[in-house]
A and B are shown apart, each in its own frame.
Chain A
Amino acid sequence: MARTDSTGSTPDFDLDGQAAPLLEIDDLRVHFKTDHGVVKAVDGVSWHVDEGETLAIVGESGSGKSVSAMSILGLVPTPPATFPSGDIRLRGRSILKMPEKQQRKLRGQEIAMIFQDPLTALNPVFKVGDQIAEMIRTHQDVTKTVARRRVLDLLGEVGIPNPGVRINQYPHEFSGGMRQRAMIAMALANDPKVLLADEPTTALDVTIQAQIMALLEKLRQERNTAIVLITHDLGLVASHADRINVMYAGRIVEAGSCDDVFYRPQHAYTFGLLSSLARMDKQRQDRLLPIKGVPPSLSKVPPGCPFHPRCQFATQGCVEAVPTLETVVTDETMNGGLHRAACIHSDQVEIAYSERLAP
């Protein structure tokens, strides 16, 4: 619907003079003080998302992708967490600087979230219908009867058969896929502008995964909701995201349109992720290349590029300075998205990847 700029293209990262994006995270740092030092879960991350758009945030466990999303909803407990820098803005209004009471009004109303495990995310002792109705009545001044009618509509909308029966059941009486549908119904109850989906299909069967993703896709189109899809599953991202942010050790290492990231990766880590993935769109199957080693402990992030100890392209230069996110200029950058990567060997990465892609 209402794109923020008149040209109709995706807004740039440099937004001088333009309307503020729907949701914007600006140089966010979330640090946790622990006995083993400061854990920099999110360390200078910026991104934005607009109406009707799906932004994917991809990374391994502990890359800071969930923490950045949870900070948006104020779900990161302080202490132990601190926010040394950065801001989160919804339509230009800073969420972090808002008083708690005002922040609460946004939660569930403007920004809603669905979680990884729908069994544990629903309260086992309350009926599913009541839990969804609570979401409505927290933000809207409606009677129980009206809320209940809305719940029935929502359950139907997310494809739960027999809403009249289901509304009175407890979460344990639902199957995994149905629970996630109920979670989605709850998240959509107040027609939020932004939906944060934190690994929404990880705990589900593959067939159910596809159904849930199709449901999210449908809702995005019908309601023009912005979706932030947090996942480690590149396959999921390929078919559903408009743009992708790849995170590693609390930072974004590569950002760009889906095509850019998948076909012209510029960061050695993205290259590693893609090379470790089995692909169905290729004739000849190369050997899958796993990424050596494990992600670094976030309290002891290696100097320079945090990925260098595991990187096949690493040189002395990678150890000396932290590479910044630079705009990638290639002949093929054409689909509007701005492609950026924080890798000093992006040329080599691109060449190596095109060799892998070649039949």
Chain B
Amino acid sequence: MAKFITRRLAHAVLVIIAATFLIYLGLFVLGDPFASSGEKTVPPEIQEALREKFGMNQPFFMQYLTYLQNMFTFDFGIDFEQRRDVGDMLAAAVPATARLAVIAILIEIVIGLTAGVIAAVSQYTFRDVFITIITTLGIGIPVFVIGIGLRAGLSGEWIFPAVPRSFTVETPWWQEIILPAFTLAILDAAFIARLMRGSMLEVLRADYVRTARAKGLSERKVIGKHAFRNSVIPVVTYTGVSLGVLLGGALITETIFEYQGLGFLLVRAIQQHNNPVIVPIVVFAVLTFVVLSTLVDILYAYLDPRIRLH
């Protein structure tokens, strides 16, 4: 196990180096990030400061090493637009995104698993057909349609804050989070319900479920313990990866609700060619994804003892 984790961490470091290198190539080498373009004019003193900071006058390889070094010491530089410290911006956005991601995942697990189990145990009945139709809609309707719909219909009503945001009104975080969290959760909940239904139906035909019944266990135990524990394994993989993606920032949803997370920050940064903001966010997204998929593998081995980690 320790060997497995060590290797996966080494793997993560390699992925990060490769990812940063590609991002660096894309953003810093293919074109001058500090040049004025179109209507944007970058003041010469900031251009100079940044050139100095990132060692832009040095050879390419040295530049990259300096860039890596800055990154690993959490020195992300200053953003082009507002000249704020990028580290501070991230420190504000990461918890917001993490909160959103975790709550969205919790919602989708609860809804998705419940719907999937209900559909599976009542296969071909009205309930099953109803859930199938709803999940098809959930998977089929694009996230931005759901998001815009919820924003148009609910924001500003009841407890939901108005969008666009008013800077003078303080909103508790949980009020801010409900609509974006549901927007994110709907698609995945529908997908998890489908996955769980299929997996459960397969498991329900398994011999060990028959054995559980032959033992005289109640149907609740047969389904809730013996069948559930086996059929939830593929869902764990999907949910883990999904969390990894969400932690990197939900671009569309955060933008629609003007939710101050990494996704919102990233979209604005891309619009503004704000490279010092783009790079760490993308690297963070890569990092969370690698860490989460490692955790999923460990959890997978725990859930299915036939899998051994080497």
Contact = CB atoms under 8 A, between A and B. Distances in A.
Interface of A: 73-75, 104-109, 112-113, 115, 117, 120-126, 134-135, 138-139, 170, 172, 183, 186
B17 interface: no
Nearest to A119: B207
B212 A75 contact: no
Most B CB atoms within 10 A — which of A74, A104, A125?
A: A125
B194 interface: no
Which of B208, B214, B229: most chain A Cβ within 10 A?
B214
Interface residues of B: mostly helix, strand, loop or mixed?
Answer: helix
B110 interface: no
A73 B214 contact: yes
B3 interface: no
A124 B306 contact: yes
Contacts of B229: 123, 125-126
Contacts of A170: 305-306
Interface residues of B, number: 19
Given A125-B303, A172-B306, A134 B215 contact: yes
Nearest to A136: B215
Contact of A120 (B207, B215, B303, B305): B207
Interface string B281-310: 000000000000000000000011110000
A109 B216 contact: yes
B216 A121 contact: no
A122 B211 CA distance: 7
Contact of A108 (B206, B207, B215, B230): B215
Nearest to B207: A120
Contacts of A109: 216
Interface of B: 206-208, 210-218, 226, 229-230, 303-306
Given A123-B212, A124-B230, A104 B304 contact: no
A105 B306 CA distance: 32
A241 B141 CA distance: 63
Nearest to B233: A125
Nearest to B203: A123
B214 A113 contact: yes
B214 A107 contact: yes
Nearest to A172: B306
Query: Which has the most chain B C-beta neighbours within 10 Å: A109, A134, A183?
Result: A134
Contact of B207 (A115, A139, A172): A115
A125 B305 CA distance: 6
B207 A121 contact: yes
A112 B226 CA distance: 18
Given A125-B305, A170-B305, A172-B305, A120 B208 contact: yes
Contacts of A107: 213-216
Nearest to A110: B216
Given A121-B207, A138-B215, 9 more contacts: A104-B218, A107-B216, A109-B216, A120-B206, A121-B211, A122-B211, A126-B229, A170-B306, A183-B211
Nearest to B206: A120
A124 B216 contact: no
Contacts of A104: 216-218
